[in-house]
Copies of this chain bind each other. A is one copy, B any other.
C-alpha cells in the first residue's frame, strides 16, 4: 500500500460510524478550547525537528538511551522556559509533558528531569517555609539546580516508618549529619537521581538532642555544580535496567556523614530550633493531601493509557484479516470474530469509565481540599479510602487491559514496534508505585470495617459508604431484574456483604483474644476483597450516574453510543465476578443467560462505531508510536519499515559470521 493512503478497511469503518467523532473528542478533552490548546502544544513539541527520533529507541543500549533522553529533556525544558517567559506554562502543559500522553511521545521511556518538576519543586512549595521557598524556588524553577525526591530505600517502600536513613542534629555546628547505616538503607528508585540531578530532597529519620522525632525532609546537594562530581560522602548512581521507565535514570544514594545546614530541613510542618529543640507538626493529616492528589491524577492518566492501547488493538483488528468465518467468503477482518470483540471493546469502555470516575474523584478531591483548608477534616478518611482502592483497581485493571489488547494482536503485539511493551512497562509500574496495590486495598478495608461497626451502632455514614448503612438496615436484596440500575445496586450490595464477612471474621478472631492487627492479618484476603468491591461499586455507580447525566446533553447519536458503553461496562464487570453476585443475590441461571446475551448484543451494537470511537480519543500518531495502530492503518508497511531500520540490517553480514560461525561450520568438514 503506497504511503499517504489510508487502508481501505479502516476507511470503510470510519464511513460506517453513526456519530460525529468531533463531538466525542471535544467532550473527551474537555471542550473546544482545551482541544485547540492540545493541538497547539502537540504542534509545538511534536513537530519540532530537533525532537524527532531517527532510530527507534529500542535499538539502543541503556546508556545510549539515557544520553539520547537527556539531550531531548533539555530541549523540552528549554521550550518550557520559553513558554514560561511568555506566561503560557499552565498546569495542563506540565501535566501533558510529565504525566501525560505528549510526554510519552517525546521521551517514551520517561523523562529523567520529571521528578524535578513533579516532586522536587512541589515539595519545596508544600513543605518549605516562606523563607525556604524564597531561597530555593527561583533556582529550581529556573533549573539552575535540578532536584529529585529521595524517599524509598532498598529495604523499605510503602511502609515509611521503616526507613533507615538517619539525620542527627549537631547543635554545635547547627547542621544535620545524614547517614546510610546499612546497605538496605540506600535510597533506591528516585527518578533522575542516577546522573541527572544535583540536588535531592532526602527523607530521613530525624534525631535531635539524642531523641527520635520521626521522618523529616532535607535538601541535600548531591553533585558539584561545576563538575557534577558527587559531593564528599555521596555514593550515587543509576540502579540499572527495568521493565519500563528505562530512561528515567532511577538512582541509588548512600550518604556517609553528609552535613547539611539547619535551614536545609523543610520546616513548614515541623521545626528544629538552633539549640535542637523539636517542634512537632500541628497536623499530621496534611501530608495525606499530596498522596491523594497523586493517586487521583493517576486514575486520569490510566484512562489515557487505555485509550492508547485500545486504539492500537482496535485499528489493527480492523486491518488484519485472518481465519474465515464463512468458508465461502474471503478471510474477514479479525474484529468480526466475537472473541476478538470481547477482547477489545470492553477496554474501550473502560477507558471512558475510568475517565469519568477520574474526574468524579478529582472533583471530590478538590472539595475535600477546600474543606481541609477551612479546617474541616470530616471527609478526609472517606476520600483517602476511596483514592487508595481506586488506585489499586484502575492500575491492576489497566495493566491487564493492556495485555489483553496486546495479545489480541497476536505475535505482532509482541514486537517493540507495536509499542505495547513500553505501554505495559509504564502501566504495570503503577501497580507498585505511589502505594503498592495490596497495601492500598488494606488501607481502604481498615476504613470499611470501621464504618461497618459505626453502621451497626446506628451512626449515619458519609455518602460513598452510605450503601453499607442501607445494607445493615435491610439485608435483603429483593428480586434482581437485570436492569443497569440494579447491577449498580447489586455491586454495592455485594460490597457490603464482603465488608460484613471481613468484619465478622475479624471479630471472631478478636473474641478469641487476638490483637486487632493479628486478626486483620488473618482475614487479609477477605479485607482486600471487600476493598476491591467497594472500589468497583464506586466505579459502577459513578459511571451510571455521570453517563446518565451526560446523555441528555449530547446528540442522540452520541447518546446512543454512551448508552452502549455504559451497558457493556456494567454487564461485563458483573459477569466477570458473577460468583460474588450469585453468592449474595438470588440470581437464576436464566438471569445469567440474559446478561450473557445482552453482552453479545452490546458487542454487536458497538461494532459499527468501534473504529470511530478510538479515533475520537484523538491520540496523536506520535503518542501511539505503533506500527499496528497508526491512523492510516498501513500496518504491514510500518512493521516492515521498522525492521528495515534495525542497525543489524544495515550490514548484510554480521561480523560474528567470520568470527564464530564460519570456523564452527567448517570445523567438521
Measured between beta carbons, the chain B residues less than 8 angstroms from A134 are none
Residue of B nearest to A77 (CB): B664
Residue of B nearest to A239 (CB): B643
Measured between beta carbons, the chain B residues less than 8 angstroms from A91 are none
Given the known interface contacts A229-B653, A636-B183, the answer about A417 and B323 at a Cβ–Cβ threshold of 8 Å is: no
Binds B, one of A138-146, A299-307, A375-383: A138-146
Tell me the complex Cα distance, A257–B162, Å. 69
| A67 interface hit (Cβ, 8 Å) | yes
Contact among B183, B240, B338 for A59, CB-based, below 8 A: B240
Measured between beta carbons, the chain B residues less than 8 angstroms from A71 are 656, 659-660
Task: Judge whether A521 and B640 touch: CB under 8 Å.
Answer: no
| A439 interface hit (Cβ, 8 Å) | yes
| A154 interface hit (Cβ, 8 Å) | yes
Contact among B61, B78, B515 for A664, CB-based, below 8 A: B78
Task: Judge whether B322 and A158 touch: CB under 8 Å.
Answer: yes
| A431 interface hit (Cβ, 8 Å) | yes
Given the known interface contacts A157-B411, A648-B195, the answer about A528 and B657 at a Cβ–Cβ threshold of 8 Å is: no
Measured between beta carbons, the chain B residues less than 8 angstroms from A459 are none
Task: Judge whether A144 and B240 touch: CB under 8 Å.
Answer: no
Tell me the complex Cα distance, A71–B664, Å. 10
| A446 interface hit (Cβ, 8 Å) | no
Interface of A (DSSP majority class) = helix
Per-residue CB proximity of A392-430 to B under 8 Å, as 1/0? 000000000001000100110111110011000000110
| Interface range on chain A (Cβ under 8 Å from partner) | 35 or more
Measured between beta carbons, the chain B residues less than 8 angstroms from A407 are 428, 431-432, 437
Task: Judge whether B322 and A664 touch: CB under 8 Å.
Answer: no
Task: Judge whether A517 and B325 touch: CB under 8 Å.
Answer: yes
| A600 interface hit (Cβ, 8 Å) | yes
Tell me the complex Cα distance, A640–B239, Å. 8
| A74 interface hit (Cβ, 8 Å) | yes
| A507 interface hit (Cβ, 8 Å) | no
Measured between beta carbons, the chain B residues less than 8 angstroms from A589 are 583-584
CB of A440 to closest CB in B, whole Å: 12
| A267 interface hit (Cβ, 8 Å) | no
Measured between beta carbons, the chain B residues less than 8 angstroms from A225 are 665
Residue of B nearest to A660 (CB): B74
Residue of B nearest to A415 (CB): B242
Contact among B64, B410, B525 for A436, CB-based, below 8 A: B410
Given the known interface contacts A339-B528, A524-B337, the answer about A518 and B144 at a Cβ–Cβ threshold of 8 Å is: no
Binds B, one of A485-493, A574-582, A608-616: A574-582
> Within residues 177 to 204 of chain A, which ones have a CB less than 8 A from any CB in chain B?
183-184, 186, 188-189, 194-196
Per-residue CB proximity of A509-523 to B under 8 Å, as 1/0? 000000101100111
| A646 interface hit (Cβ, 8 Å) | yes
Per-residue CB proximity of A581-593 to B under 8 Å, as 1/0? 1111000010011
Measured between beta carbons, the chain B residues less than 8 angstroms from A599 are 525
Between A71, A189, A223, A639, the greatest number of chain B beta carbons within 10 A of the residue's beta carbon is seen for: A639
Tell me the complex Cα distance, A124–B77, Å. 59
Residue of B nearest to A582 (CB): B582
Contact among B61, B417, B524, B528 for A61, CB-based, below 8 A: B61
Copies in the complex: 2
| A654 interface hit (Cβ, 8 Å) | yes
| A559 interface hit (Cβ, 8 Å) | no
Residue of B nearest to A69 (CB): B656
> Within residues 611 to 669 of chain A, which ones have a CB less than 8 A from any CB in chain B?
636-637, 639-640, 642-649, 652-662, 664-669
Task: Judge whether B338 and A647 touch: CB under 8 Å.
Answer: no
Contact among B342, B442, B660 for A70, CB-based, below 8 A: B660
Task: Judge whether A241 and B322 touch: CB under 8 Å.
Answer: no
Task: Judge whether A67 and B656 touch: CB under 8 Å.
Answer: yes
| A99 interface hit (Cβ, 8 Å) | no
Tell me the complex Cα distance, A154–B229, Å. 50
Measured between beta carbons, the chain B residues less than 8 angstroms from A62 are 58-59, 646-648
| A336 interface hit (Cβ, 8 Å) | yes
| A503 interface hit (Cβ, 8 Å) | no
Tell me the complex Cα distance, A61–B242, Å. 14
Tell me the complex Cα distance, A56–B242, Å. 12
Task: Judge whether A158 and B417 touch: CB under 8 Å.
Answer: no
Measured between beta carbons, the chain B residues less than 8 angstroms from A338 are 521-525
CB of A84 to closest CB in B, whole Å: 10
Task: Judge whether B515 and A326 touch: CB under 8 Å.
Answer: yes
Tell me the complex Cα distance, A492–B66, Å. 54
| A438 interface hit (Cβ, 8 Å) | yes
> Within residues 222 to 236 of chain A, which ones have a CB less than 8 A from any CB in chain B?
223, 225, 227-230
Task: Judge whether A322 and B159 touch: CB under 8 Å.
Answer: yes
> Within residues 26 to 78 of chain A, which ones have a CB less than 8 A from any CB in chain B?
56, 58-64, 66-67, 70-71, 74, 77-78
Question: 30 A-B Cβ contacts within 8 A?
Answer: A56-B240, A58-B241, A59-B62, A62-B647, A70-B656, A70-B661, A71-B660, A77-B664, A144-B669, A152-B411, A158-B323, A159-B331, A162-B322, A162-B331, A194-B649, A195-B657, A230-B652, A237-B643, A238-B646, A239-B643, A240-B646, A244-B414, A325-B518, A326-B517, A338-B522, A410-B432, A410-B436, A411-B432, A577-B579, A578-B579
Top 7 closest pairs, chain A to chain B, by CB: A579-B579, A578-B579, A338-B524, A61-B61, A237-B649, A582-B582, A58-B241
- Given A59-B61, A243-B420, A525-B600, output 18 extra A-B contacts at Cβ < 8 Å: A60-B61, A61-B61, A62-B646, A81-B668, A184-B636, A194-B649, A195-B648, A225-B665, A237-B643, A237-B646, A238-B643, A338-B524, A338-B525, A340-B438, A403-B428, A407-B428, A582-B583, A584-B589
